[in-house]
Amino acid sequence: MGTVVILKLQEGSGTLTERLYLTLKEWILHEAEPGARLPSIRALAAENNLSRTTVEAAYSQLYAEGYIESRPRSGYFVAEDLLAVDRKPDEEPRAEKQNSIGMESVRYDFYPARLSPEIFPVKTWRRLSVRALQEDLDFGAYPDGKGEAGFREQIASYLNRIRGTRCRADQIVVCSGFIDAMGLAAELMQARKRPFAIEWPGYRLAERVMGEHGYRTLHLPVDPQGIDPERLEATEVGSLYLTPSHQYPTGVTLPVARRQALLEWARRQESWIVEDDYDSELNYTHRPIPAMQGLEGGERVLYLGTFSKSLSPAIRVAYLVLPEPLMERYRRSSHAHFARVSLPVQRTLELFMAEGHWERHLRRVRTLNRRRHDRMLAALKRELGDRIEIVTQGGGLAILVRSTDGCDLKRLREEAVKRGIRLYLASDFYGEEWEALRMGFGGLSEEAIDEGVAETAALWRALSMTHDR
């Protein structure tokens, strides 16, 4: 491929990103020279009338699967060794070829945000879904834009009892996942004239959503106690995104003194704080820290929660607790018109909570994940010992480790994928400046954790040896 390339995208029903990914993959498998340079993201996007996000996503996928390599400051190149394997037997059936590196051949997938499929309480869900349908659901009417009143009551009661918030059901808007909730927050805060601040390293998606809604971003460095409120003093920041209970990705907990200082700052500056409490239910070492929203001065906080980490990311249910002035804005806006989650899903989840299944489920999930977490921690320590520093542990669905023996983690990932092991790096999500391996344990059995970590560690040691020489 030269520097200017006009592509004929594969036909099909997938998204543009998927079609672009397939087109490039075909080219790599059948035409490209090993080591050939790919056009820059900007050039490919401009020449083909695609957005840079689309091209970036397709490149990221190809990169994650080992089809292409990234060289610092030079760009992307077709992987050298992959083609030697994949091109030679041209007559080989296509499916076989893809198997050598494709999804089907993945034996251990350490994806950091995966839940075990068996965690989902299918039988109970089925029973309650049928019951919800048998009730007097009005399929002829548009449901309440904020979400069903009974469901919001359940959420408010749970949050106030377990998460230490202070909220009423009529402050809650049921949303379809994080992007929906964060986008709604961005629209309601109306603080575009002042910068939006985010912990750094932090959740890049939050920054992207805010950018898409016209906000400029300021990064606030995370120290061993989270962000330092004093850093905000000299700024004009009008909105701040935080993960105070379990910082994403470093895992640190923001101490109460800093929480209070931030609330005081927000009150003085009339700024808004978005508190993302995404996975505080999954805490394996101590009781979850009560939410900032419930502290004195919590009136400037928009609290965001999700069912994705403990129940299922597939049902797409999250919620936003709004301070009263923003609730007023919401009521007057177009956002108030249509429900964001379908009625049967809301009613089923409401029954699930009302009948005590949710809290029982949480206890079960915590026990199961704690076992996997402990197994992962033990395996990493046993197999990699002082070659690693454990950066984040004790919660969530992944343990983050940094290399202390100089192992090149990008190279490790490239080599691992050829052996059916999928690894994930912090830089995929938080920018190049903060690198770590994110070892997800949620989707793997305890045996698979042991085996997968042992194989990864063997590769790690081999790569570090070549590096030492």
Q: How far is the CB of 282 from ligand PLP (least distance, A)?
A: 12
Q: How far is the CB of 355 from ligand PLP (least distance, A)?
A: 23
Q: Which is nearer to ligand PLP, 17 or 48 (CB)?
A: 17
Nearer to ligand PLP, 198 or 384 (CB): 198
- Which of 250, 464 has the CB closer to ligand PLP? 250
The helix (run of H) or strand (run of E) holding residue 1 is none
Distances from the Cα of 392 to the Cαs of 175, 386, 407, 453, in angstroms?
29, 16, 19, 17
Q: For 401, how many CA atoms within 13 A lie in the half-sphere containing its CB?
A: 30
> What backbone torsions phi and psi does residue 75 show, to the nearest 5 degrees?
115, -155
Nearer Cβ to ligand PLP (19/316): 316
Q: Which residue has the tokens 């494709």?
A: 102
Site string for ligand PLP, 229-268 (x = CB under 6 A): --------------x----x--------------------
28 with 62: CB under 8 angstroms? yes
Secondary structure (3-state) at 371: helix
Among 276, 281, 350, 415, binds ligand PLP (CB under 6 A): 276
- Closer CB to ligand PLP, residue 78 or residue 113? 113
C-beta of 319: minimal distance to ligand PLP in Å?
Answer: 9
Neighbours of 141 (CB within 10 A): 8
Q: Residue for token digits 């003093």?
A: 233
Element (H, E) at 230: helix 230-233
Q: Count CB neighbours of 386 within 10 A.
A: 8
Among 145, 150, 177, 431, binds ligand PLP (CB under 6 A): 177
- What gap in Å lies between CA 434 and CA 168, rounded to an integer? 39
- Residue whose CB is nearest to ligand PLP in the complex, by number: 177
Binding track, positions 82-121, relative to ligand PLP; x by CB under 6 A = -------------------------------x--------
- Judged by CB under 6 A, which stretch of 69-77, 119-127, 305-313, 374-382 contacts ligand PLP? 305-313
Instruction: Assess 191 for contact with ligand PLP (CB under 6 A).
Output: no
Residue selected from 247, 280, 306, 464 as contacting ligand PLP according to rule CB under 6 A: 306
What whole-number distance in Å separates Cα of residue 464 and Cα of residue 241?
38
**Closer Cβ to ligand PLP, 215 or 278, answer by number:** 278
Considering the complex, state which of residue 66 and residue 112 has its C-beta at the smaller distance from ligand PLP.
112
3-state secondary structure of 314: coil
Q: Which residues, including other chains, have CB under 8 Å from residue 467's CB and lie 6 or more apart?
A: 406, 407, 408
Detail the DSSP E strand segments found in 22-171.
68-71, 75-78, 108-109
Check if the beta carbon of residue 116 is closer than 8 Å to that of residue 368: yes
Site for ligand PLP in 313-332 (CB under 6 A): 313, 318
The residues in 397-456 that bind ligand PLP, with binding defined as CB under 6 A, are none
Identity of the residue numbered 221: P
Task: Choose, by CB under 6 A, the member of 278, 303, 330, 358 that binds ligand PLP.
Answer: 278
Q: Measured from the CB atom, is 110 or 178 closer to ligand PLP?
A: 178
Provide the phi-psi class of 334: left if phi over 0, else alpha when psi is between -120 and 50, else beta. Answer: alpha
Peptide bond into 255 cis (omega under 30): no
CB 310 to ligand PLP: min, Å: 11
Which one of residues 245, 280, 308, 310 is an interface residue with ligand PLP (CB under 6 A)? 308
- For residues 67 and 85, the answer to whether their CB atoms sit within 8 Å is no
Q: Which two tokens stand for residue 270?
A: 């009339």
CB of 316 to ligand PLP, least distance (A): 7
251-255-256-261 Cα dihedral, nearest 10 degrees: -100
Asked if 293 and 165 touch (Cβ cutoff 8 Å), the reply is yes
Q: How far is the CB of 178 from ligand PLP (least distance, A)?
A: 3
38/426 with CB nearer ligand PLP: 426
**Nearest-approach distance from CB 180 to ligand PLP, in angstroms:** 8
Rounded to whole angstroms, the Cα distance separating 415 from 419 reads: 7
Residue number with CB closer to ligand PLP (313 or 344): 313
| Overall size of the chain counted in residues | 469
CA 116/CA 442 separation, integer angstroms: 6
- The two tokens of residue 284 are 């394996």
| Residues contacting ligand PLP: total by CB under 6 A | 12
CB of 424 to ligand PLP, least distance (A): 12
Contact residue for ligand PLP among 59, 110, 125, 178 (CB under 6 A): 178
* Minimum separation from the CB atom of position 212 to ligand PLP (A): 15
203 near ligand PLP, rule: CB under 6 A: yes
Which of residues 187 and 450 has its CB atom nearest to ligand PLP in the complex?
A: 187
The nearer residue to ligand PLP, 41 or 209, going by C-beta atoms, is: 209
- Residues making contact with ligand PLP (CB under 6 A): 113, 177-178, 203, 243, 248, 276, 278, 306, 308, 313, 318
